[in-house]
Structure 1
């Protein structure tokens, strides 16, 4: 077979064109291309065929080029705007641009064309027009960004065969009218009944609901077991009603007078109606029950995208056996509905698209729909993006983009079917750009004609898609005008009945007293869900299993020596360091049957080369994961290096944890201060989701934190921000200082997954990872449990002699112990570490303070500046526990706009001052250190 025959249709013509240019100027090509054409020249069968048939090769090339242009660039002439604006067009789509005539097309050899329309194209009477109808009609296809020829060919064949327009029988056509009637009548009822209330109407892109319907129906028929949907607020209420089946009564009740008192607790706030989610059990004849979930989403638009992908991944995985979890992509499909201004405008979209083909994050393809209003709030598209289409970002990720006119119902349904079939065939993302308009302002209280008067003059006189489709069915003789009107009246009657029921319920509720709210019990750590104690012998067995290697595996000798030291270290006093304790905790959790998923930048090895959960063969590069191989494991363990992203990756793990409630899910920041790259996810989802949406994730955030002279960017995980977000038992915040404490904290979190799930924020160390003072013994791991407060134990001075108590949290305590300052106080100063910050261990701290009868002063010591760290959080909680005669003092860095000094020498000065002042209580120390 000749090399050129791997190129088909327009690609063959393009190859001939390139070859002609090569003959004219070989030096214009790179060496590899020149070498290819030099070898390929004698086999140019297409040219030879043209010559033997007496054809002009130039015209053959021109004709092939025209076909290629229509297939690849026809979208530039597609009529995808319902409001009738002219498409940008392209001269290359015209016959004259290629120097060919209809007769030239008729004379083309068959192998130049290929595809379902090959014979029609060669029939000069209508061939080009057929191509124009397909590629420059109400659908525009963008596929030239896809490198895989099989995918491009599949889309071409699907478009030209119009196979996805088939099976659209009269019953389906009438069913589509019913759906559009529900969508439109619902919006109009709300507009009339609640004038001026925000609802972010779907009108202008009503076909979204039938499009999602079609995807769901195809997914169910293909055996998919779950659908997860994410979207912003535009059209959400309509989707809740007609895709999720939320009763009209419930929705109208939220418009009329929301009731947040029923089945709630202190701290419950609820959310506005266009942020809420829902879940539905989808049933259709011949299809088993399939849950559909629409996740709640704040006003941050696209930030829900990776949350949905995480939920879809969790639904696809089986985590009940050791090793990586088994994935079945038929278990779920993700549908993401985007805004046309937000899709190119928010970076979280690009971060999410980048996850699509990564091992730890792929879900077998997501179906994206841009709900394209052609406007963002009041901003024209020319001011909101630097590209022609709202969808152009997707081209960089090699996914097909299909633009479709939202006023063309049959085309929209065909595109939805095609999107599902492509995802099913290639397990890749695909994007539908549903081009419509927005009938009202950004919200229903806005006047859009202030800023887009010409657009809204056209919209005001533009028929709805329901009207357009009803007229078409009347023309086809499938319904009468009276039947179409009767459909509207039937839906309106249902809505009016639901509204009357709402008003009656509200009248009855007004006469009854509100139910009492239940105050949550905020307990530092619930003793009833402590992890079961683990014996020293069991830990030794787990340790041995983690150090076992296959005979054929050759680890890096330096790394292996370091790891094998753990065989002895587990028996040494304080020999278990932080990463060793973490591995043992993971092993114990897996042995208990709890799955684990851990991700983060460089988390397989660990940012500080401390973890090494994944080993690489020094000779072959093959991977070995000891936690997979250990015989005691009864659940899956997954660890992945994440892409260089905080927002999308943390959101993914949040979504995963909400959909896999029995799994210990951990995300690790490379440095704790990088967590602020995901601040939206922390603020809007992780800490507030329970109060707003009754969602209970148990995600663990591992944030390296500690002042070691690495500058402002690698010192602070912004502890103060997390503490400011603590309320009503919403999260846990810990700052442990020993390996054993970390071990017990992880096991506690795993044990609480089913009984009392909460997100856990852990300030993890950097220099303490290998600091002997942070090491622990085997007995400390076996004894347990996690202690909210740590004292000096047997090394502490007699409580009766203590007049000054230093309270602190985190690494600064180890710095103080290492300084030797305590030894010079003759027992008058003691140190207590606050290991758990929220929930605040009030009772533990009260009992500890009561042990010091002669206490005169309590010092809160911290590394962070006074306006950061825990100080502002500690004062109102600690002060009420202190008798009036005891002074509460602050020792730490002064207030600052920056978290830390930029020079190591300045850091040493400040750190020394803080420790000496905390112990000695003399401001003169500060001056002495400065001198």
Structure 2
């Protein structure tokens, strides 16, 4: 039986009295009635006890039933005998009607959005929603004028206790089925539902002050005016205009104006290319002169700053403005054409602001409707919104819903009822609003900011509008959307729509509106003329602390990374002890004892301890550290254990936060199972705080390609395109160890392919000390650069992969190349073969060479380690190789020939050999054969392959 039929059956007249008694019983004790009836009463939701409470009156003053009945039917008898007789009948009918009416009210709260007037083009026909049909609840046409008792607490738009059914429905349609559609009844938090319900149902007719309406019209004048100006002045030039969705501009202004009332200090925005130029100029404050300079092909960079630059609709900006007497910093994040990815970076930027300075900071992310429904990163961002590592006290998401995705219709781009349905996973209310009703849009934005302020959670606003032109200004939309395109061509733009409305209201005459329009057009023309001789003199969009950094081509310097012996011991003490009363696991106690021995003897410093020394020394110097990644608190390989957990209370204890009273803080968070959004978040964080060490660790390096867009579009090219530096560190476990294709390779070759123009650092390290210096080097310099480390797995506990404490102190530093360390190799001219290698394979070669030492006495072989692939240390490697004038050169790697570092280094090493006039300019390759898969999944095959390549490298 359909739900509609079930409700009609349950509410049939013959069941009325029985149902009324059960309902009263359920209010007192929900478990006292049959579950099937309990489910029915539950649909009455938050109003479930209003009827009975009102009918019975307050506990101290019971309300006579005859009063209620008299209100409903003035013909009710007043004699006690007749009252008793009629009361029985009337109570049955009254309670019956009241329950059904409240069920209908709650249906509008849940489903009224489906009947709202959202489409400015009026092409979307209202559907028949059975849940909103009075017949579903047993009401007939003749019942429309019947008085129904609902109490005065069920809904604020029903102020009286008794209303006719027609009055109830009219009130519901006025609240839930006009220009605004509300989705909020799925929220699990009762307080949030009640808060929204009260705000929604008490607002009544939107009635803004004259000043507010005039301000909105001016904002629309500027939004529409800019698009019209560009459409005429730059015919056929792509700009991805906001035409049809210009209401976005007053929406953002309303959001900002409301935010400053809550003392928000900064708003970081992210959006795709659609409408970006309009937002940059009309909201954030970029000059029209600068914009028109870019339209003419000019660069946004000052002269003397190199880089690839980017198209104008990818650029960001930053400016401090005054709104309603208060200052606020507005910024727009740079982004690529890859839709939705910038949202993760924006969230990271805002979290960085919240962590480093007091005050309130807000993330606002603008989306397209098709992208919001289609891009998986949207879900990842929403899923992280309430997690400790990533929450930003709630973000406001604005969907510019032009009801089209390039040529894709809504029914082809989303399986949900709305493109915004995915936002429900974040327990965010979703508000849809007609883009041709700017006053409704402003009210919605005000409420969205207020909700975020009150509950620190995300809010989604869906601006339902249209796209006046094609996907870009050279595209013809009529080929694929003929009906919509014709409707749009007949539809007045938002300026005309709203100016006419205000003229009719007497707020501002159309003559005055046209004068304002003309004045703005003249201003744009003046800016256009000035732009012809415009020169960029300063990078005002770059935050002050980043302006102090040196860009590529400027005087970049690295400073000392060594630390004092005293600091080493102070950190060592913190790493080997914990608070009194803390119940530490016995095995971890033994690990701490081993660390204490390391610091007392000065030898045996392993990878995790070296990392902790780097972190701790930066903390002592005042630099915060942030490390995130799947399982990174303990470490995938259980090597780090940077956060101890009390075995009785589960309380965490972060060792490095207890070095000394005055120190910076380290935050170590286990991330959720995401690479894409998490890496984007950390990138955004690293681009905001120049003086913090930000690290992301992959569970295995193999999984980093889940975040390939962040690597390709942001990390490797951000500085070249946008002058956006980042000191982000990526730790990617990488090595062939017989664990199969998905646990062997971080795809070193792909990172090397991205390297150029001094854009990032790629390392494959072999010593804990070098790891220590590489990490500290990130902050001990006058610029910032991403660092990608092929981090170890088996080497984490390898007895040979240890460093003495002397490698961290005095004048020690990072070594991009490490020469032979065997003290028995004294006659370099006698060396017949130099094996150049990188990473873990070095130790395989080293141990095998020890085994074969007796056989190789007559033909010496030396091992040289390339610790840093990029920037390629040509001079350092040349100096080392020049010491072996008679040796042949071999490159050994454990990756397949078409992977790893071979194709990156072979020409570079050969060039070095030619320039030094070495006896050979040829480099021999030793390693696995080219393969489609990074590694075999068979342990026996792996061992055989590894033994073969090691012996070949050693010429055995």
2:172 is the counterpart of 1:131: yes
**2:814 corresponds to 1:780:** no
Q: Is 2:952 the partner of 1:917? A: yes
**Residue from 15, 29, 34 that aligns with 1:26:** 34
Q: Which residue of 2 aligns with 1:318?
A: 356
Match of 2:318 among 279, 291, 299: 279
Equivalent residue for 2:133, pick from 87, 94, 99: 94
Which of 896, 900, 903 is the matching residue for 1:872?
Answer: 903
Asked if 1:881 is matched to 2:918, the reply is: no
Residue 519 of structure 1, CA deviation: 11
> 2:20, 2:233 → 1: CA distance?
61
What pairs up with 1:138-287 in 2 under 5 angstroms? 138-162=179-203, 165=206, 168-259=208-299, 262-266=302-306, 268-287=307-326
Whole-angstrom distance in 2 between the partners of 1:789 and 1:73 = 67
CA distance in 2, matches of 1:23, 1:915: 73
Q: 1:262: Cα distance to partner? A: 3.8
Provide the C-alpha distance between the structure 2 equivalents of 1:380 and 1:519, rounded to a whole number of angstroms. 44
Is 2:882 the partner of 1:842? no
Match of 1:4?
none
Find the counterpart in structure 1 of residue 411 from structure 2.
382
Contact 1:369–1:434 under 8 Å retained in 2: yes
Distance 1:125 1:92 in 2: 16
**Range moving further from structure 2, 697-706 or 881-890:** 881-890
Contact 2:736–2:744 (8 Å) recurs in 1? yes
CA change 1:121–1:484 in 2 (3 A) is: farther
Equivalent in the alignment of 1:828: 860
What does residue 694 of structure 2 align with? 665
Structure 1 residues 165 and 420 mapped into 2: Cα distance closer, same or farther (>3 Å)? farther
**Distance between the aligned counterparts of 2:719 and 2:287, measured in 1?**
23
Give the CA deviation at 1:99: 1.9
SS in structure 2 of the partner of residue 713 of structure 1: coil
Query: 1:909 and 1:144, CA in 2 relative to 1: closer, same or farther beyond 3 A?
Result: same
State the secondary structure of the residue aligned to 1:677. Answer: helix
Residue 569 of structure 2 aligns to a residue in which SS? helix
Hey, what does 1:600 align to over in structure 2? Answer: 629
Alignment partner, residue 790 of structure 1:
818
C-alpha distance in 1, partners of 2:253/2:262? 14
Q: TM-score, normalised on structure 2?
A: 0.87
Q: 1:765 aligns with which of 789, 792, 811?
A: 792
**Structure 2 CA distance for partners of 1:415 and 1:640, relative to 1, 3 Å:** same
Q: Is the CA contact 2:305–2:553 (under 8 Å) kept in the aligned structure 1?
A: no
Q: Which residue of 2 aligns with 1:652?
A: 681
Alignment of 1:842-861 (within 5 A): 842-855=874-887, 857-861=888-892
> Partner of 2:425: helix, strand, or coil?
helix
Q: What residue number does 1:76 align with? A: 114
Tell me which residue corresponds to 2:540. Answer: none
Q: Displacement, 1:465?
A: 1.4
CA distance in 1, matches of 2:387, 2:336: 27
C-alpha separation between the residues in 2 aligned to 1:361 and 1:530? 33
Distance in 2 (CA, whole Å) between partners of 1:350 and 1:548 is 41
Distance 1:666 1:26 in 2: 56
TM-score after normalising by structure 1? 0.90
Q: Would the alpha carbon gap of residues 263 and 163 (structure 1) be closer, same or farther in structure 2, given more than 3 Å must change?
A: farther
- Report how far residue 160 of structure 1 moved: 1.4
Question: Are 1:719 and 2:748 matched, yes or no?
Answer: yes
**Does 2:925 align with 1:900?**
no
Distance 1:485 1:620 in 2: 70
Q: Residues 475-531 of structure 1, C-alpha deviation per residue, up to 9 Å, x if partnerless? A: 01122221121122111111111222233559xxxxxxxxxxx995699xx774232
- 3-state DSSP class of the match of 1:497? helix
Distance apart, 1:791 and its partner CA: 2.1
Note if contact 1:741-1:786 (Cα within 8 Å) is conserved in structure 2. Answer: yes
**Helix, strand or coil: the match of 2:414?**
coil
Structure 1: gaps spanning 5 or more residues: 1-11, 320-327, 507-517, 923-931
Corresponding residue for 1:6? Answer: none
Deviation at 1:219, TM superposition (A): 1.0
1:257 CA displacement: 2.4
Task: Provide, for residues 691-747 of structure 1, a one-character-per-residue CA deviation record: whole Å limited to 9, x for no partner.
Answer: 000001100000101110000101111111111111111101111111111111111
**Count of matched residue pairs:** 876
1:124: how far off? 5.2
Quick check: 2:828–2:883 contact (8 Å CA) kept in 1?
A: yes
CA distance in 2, matches of 1:209, 1:498: 20
CA–CA separation in structure 2 for the residues paired with 1:236 and 1:15: 58
User: Retained in 2: the 8 A contact 1:858–1:889?
Assistant: yes
Which position in structure 2 is the counterpart of 1:7? none
Using the TM superposition, give the Cα deviation of residue 120 of structure 1 relative to its aligned residue in structure 2, in angstroms.
8.2
The corresponding residue for 1:928 is none
1:590/1:633 contact within 8 Å kept: no
Shift of 1:558: 1.4
Question: Does 2:514 match 1:485?
Answer: yes
SS of alignment partner, residue 775 of structure 1:
coil
Which residue of 2 is the match for residue 3 of structure 1? none
Deviations 1:546-604, CA, capped at 9 Å, x for gaps:
22221110111112112221111234474111111111211111111111011000011
Stretches of structure 2 that go unaligned for 5 or more consecutive residues are: 1-18, 57-64, 69-86, 536-549
1:392 to 415, 421, 431: 421
* Counterpart Cα distance in 2 of 1:662 and 1:347: 32
Q: Does the Cα contact within 8 Å between 2:637 and 2:793 map onto a contact in 1?
A: yes
* 1:164–1:415 contact (8 Å) kept in structure 2: no
Contact 1:647 1:679 in 2 (8 A): yes
CA RMSD between the two structures: 2.9
Q: Secondary structure at the match of 2:660?
A: coil
Q: Quote the offset at 1:114 in angstroms.
A: 4.1
